Structure 1
Amino acid sequence: MRIYRNIYSVHKWFGLVTGIFLLLLGVSGSILVFKDELEHFLDHTSTKVVPTGKPLSLDTLYQVIVKEYPRLDGASWINPVAAPDESYKFRLYLNDAQLMTYDLGGLNINQYTGKIIRTGRSDTFVTGLMDWLFQFHFSFHLGMPGAVLTAIMGICMLISIITGLIVYRKFIWKVLTFKVQIKTKNWRTISSDLHRIVGVWALLFNIVVFFTGFWMNLFAFETDKWAVEKELASPNTLARASIDKMYQEARLKMPDLVPNYVYFPTQPEKKFNVRGNIAGQNDLFAGGNFVKFDAQTGAFSSMGRFEEMAFWDKVEALFYPLHVGNYGGILLKILYVILGLSPALLSVTGFLLWWRKVK
């Protein structure tokens, strides 16, 4: 039927046009599944510290950071449960008024001496390979246009999945019941069978991963975000309230919270924010736990837990862990790595199938 030929054409050309991008997203995403482990392996020696008594106060470290960066949109402490010999790591939110650069940075600081060990932008290798790869994965190091591009690639992959589902509909049950085997007669039959088998087995995974990736990059389509990116970050407006005191009070407000993110505001409209898991809670449901304070007055602002969120907010809170696979231990991570490489394999086999017909 003509309609199926048209659907096949859509599937083919979407795959060919987006293939290289999907390959890059698949490979980088698979590596990032083990971001924390690889970061520790690659960077621990260069960023470790020698414990000498008690760490300096957060207020002191805050002053060191804002002195180094007088124009910040904010900074977040991303390893508040760091081991004694592990330097504190901060993610920096910069703004250089350039649309083609995505403004993330990193900083490692010796919490015992206040000395900055390393710092820089995440689109360089100064803060480590994994930071560079993390930013590459959602923006291709092309700033806001790059974030739009990765979102579009997500939609393109979803269209490719849906059209592939229609094109190969007769093979789905055969693949799932292991009735389709890889014929090793030549590279043409190998690529054809691999394309079908990998596409079917990775179907649900790719729908989840590419939809959540698209959704998390929707901010790149907001015109006000583009306007903000064109403006240099304002000079810092420092928190008047004690960072240490607000952090301690946040722990008292939610004693079962295990922090994994602490936001230090540097602009007047931003709140001091502590986020993390509830003790014993699976990482899948950790997105909605927070305690906020007014950084200028130190007054308690708000707090929340995942189970208290509205239905759609709960759904959105699931997107990040579903995308990165951090909620099921080492075996799930290995599965994410294997399935995460499927877009790359589908891109290669799809190209080979096209090349076979062209020749």
Structure 2
Amino acid sequence: MSRKNYISKLAFSMHSLLGLITGLFLLLLGLSGSAIVFLKEIDHAINADLLKVKPSGKTLTLDSLYRKIGEDHPNLSGIAWLNPDAPADEAYEFRCYQNDGKLSTYDLGMISINPYSGKILREGALKNLYPSIMYWILQFHWSFQLGIPGLLLATIFGITMLLSCLTGLIIYRKQVWKVLTFRAKFKWTNWRTISSGLHRVVGVWALLFNIIIFFTGFWMNKFSMDTDYWKKQTIASPLNTLSEQPIDQMLWKAKKSMPDLLIKNVYLPTQAGKYFKVTGTVEGQSAFFDNGNSVAIDPVSGAVVSILRLAEKSIWEKVEATFFSIHVGSFGGLPIKILYVIIGLLPGLLSITGALLWWRKVRKR
């Protein structure tokens, strides 16, 4: 057997094995990933009556809402205000970071609050279908709802999919150009030829997209492979240590420190040693960069600890700043999101056609 044939045979064996082991999970990742492309839109459509509020005078202070959440949930790792740029008739959305000391749970929760009355509109953990099925799907996409082991599993599948793409490229290397130039012959004779043709054509067209999506997913989740991270998750969060400084005062100081910052996220510390932090974009910044700019403030002294601008960061840090928006398709409008939904379903289609091809080979034997 020649060296070239040996490499092709080895690539085919690896490609088949990887597909069979991860096929079902890739199907689930593709379906959930396509759903969360329109996460906010679908969530707000389902809960329109709940999340629309009637503006009535001034909103309550952010500090009062922060302390209300901190009192109701005394063991938080942190709180994030997810929509500081929300319109006046929209509820405030908060993400609660928790840690119960169990690896089997991925402790994220959410709270929606009427900013004028302080009324809790919905509240719960993302491991439950309530308060939001869409956020349940989001957590499923990141961890299969299996806690920290599930997070690691999703990370590993990112690696296996990259290997699957590379081995697929070796197998179909002679067909790539034909497929891209629409010269590849497609036979509709029976289910065998149809599945073979679909697998080849879809695999080639989805190759670059899959490499990008699964690499960015792996890179953002790579912390799940850190043993120190696992150890920290076995230690439950202690009682909250809320900020000594008023949250609204620190928010004002952050805006003053970076006047051109368009704030997208506000992190509210609940444990000693953590900083109040705002992140976002600046005017004229490409939509590929989801944020990259931040101001951090010490919640004890009220002093500005750091001011970071994307423009001043290294090339690799700028590349990393694009990973989230590229992974979820948030850098474009409706056409880009629709494209992401369609292409996001392709790994599942590849797993189905790949399974059919494997079954055909088994039956021949």
Say which SS state the counterpart of residue 93 (structure 1) adopts.
Answer: strand
Amino acid at match of 1:141: Q
Alignment of 1:196-345 (within 5 A): 196-345=200-349
Identify unmatched segments of 5+ residues in structure 2: none
1:133 aligns with 2:137: yes
Q: Cα distance, 1:279 vs. partner?
A: 2.3
Question: For the residues of structure 1 that align with 2:46 and 2:153, how far apart are their CA atoms?
Answer: 29
1:61 aligns with 2:65: yes
Q: Give every structure 1 segment of 4 or more consecutive aligned residues whose post-TM-superposition deviation is greater than 3 Å.
A: none
- Residue pair 1:44, 1:86 contacting (<8 A) in 2 also: no
Say which SS state the counterpart of residue 283 (structure 1) adopts.
Answer: coil
Task: Answer with 309-318 or 153-162: which moved more.
Answer: 309-318
Question: For the residues of structure 1 that align with 2:188 and 2:237, how far apart are their CA atoms?
Answer: 58
Question: For the residues of structure 2 that align with 1:181 and 1:301, how far apart are their CA atoms?
Answer: 62
Q: Cα distance, 1:181 vs. partner?
A: 4.1
1:18 aligns with 2:22: yes
Q: Cα distance, 1:44 vs. partner?
A: 2.2
Q: 1:54 to 1:181 in 2, by over 3 A?
A: farther
Question: For the residues of structure 1 that align with 2:261 and 2:185, how far apart are their CA atoms?
Answer: 50
Say which SS state the counterpart of residue 3 (structure 1) adopts.
Answer: helix
Amino acid at match of 2:115: Q
Question: For the residues of structure 1 that align with 2:83 and 2:294, how far apart are their CA atoms?
Answer: 16
Question: For the residues of structure 2 that align with 1:175 and 1:281, how far apart are their CA atoms?
Answer: 36
Q: Which of 165, 175, 188 is 2:169 aligned to?
A: 165
TM-score relative to the length of structure 2: 0.96
Question: For the residues of structure 2 that align with 1:10 and 1:259, how far apart are their CA atoms?
Answer: 46
Question: For the residues of structure 1 that align with 2:321 and 2:10, how far apart are their CA atoms?
Answer: 37
**RMSD, aligned α-carbons:** 1.1
- Residue pair 1:105, 1:122 contacting (<8 A) in 2 also: yes
- Residue pair 1:286, 1:306 contacting (<8 A) in 2 also: no
1:4 aligns with 2:8: yes
How many residues in Structure 1 have an aligned counterpart in Structure 2? 359
1:347 aligns with 2:364: no
Q: Cα distance, 1:2 vs. partner?
A: 2.6
- Residue pair 1:268, 1:296 contacting (<8 A) in 2 also: no
Write the deviation string for residues 60-95 of structure 1: whole angstroms up to 9, x where unpaired: 111110111011001000011112221100000011
Write the deviation string for residues 128-162 of structure 1: whole angstroms up to 9, x where unpaired: 01111111101001111001100110110011100
Task: Answer with 272-281 or 92-101: which moved more.
Answer: 272-281
Question: For the residues of structure 1 that align with 2:316 and 2:91, how far apart are their CA atoms?
Answer: 37
Task: Answer with 1-10 or 346-355: which moved more.
Answer: 1-10
Amino acid at match of 1:334: I
Say which SS state the counterpart of residue 8 (structure 1) adopts.
Answer: helix
- Residue pair 2:44, 2:51 contacting (<8 A) in 1 also: no
Question: For the residues of structure 1 that align with 2:99 and 2:7, how far apart are their CA atoms?
Answer: 48
Question: For the residues of structure 1 that align with 2:334 and 2:103, how far apart are their CA atoms?
Answer: 38
* Residue aligning to 2:121: 117
TM-score relative to the length of structure 1: 0.98
1:101 aligns with 2:105: yes
Identity of aligned residues (%): 52
- Residue pair 1:93, 1:105 contacting (<8 A) in 2 also: yes
- Residue pair 2:264, 2:291 contacting (<8 A) in 1 also: no
Say which SS state the counterpart of residue 175 (structure 2) adopts.
Answer: helix
Question: For the residues of structure 2 that align with 1:281 and 1:287, how far apart are their CA atoms?
Answer: 9
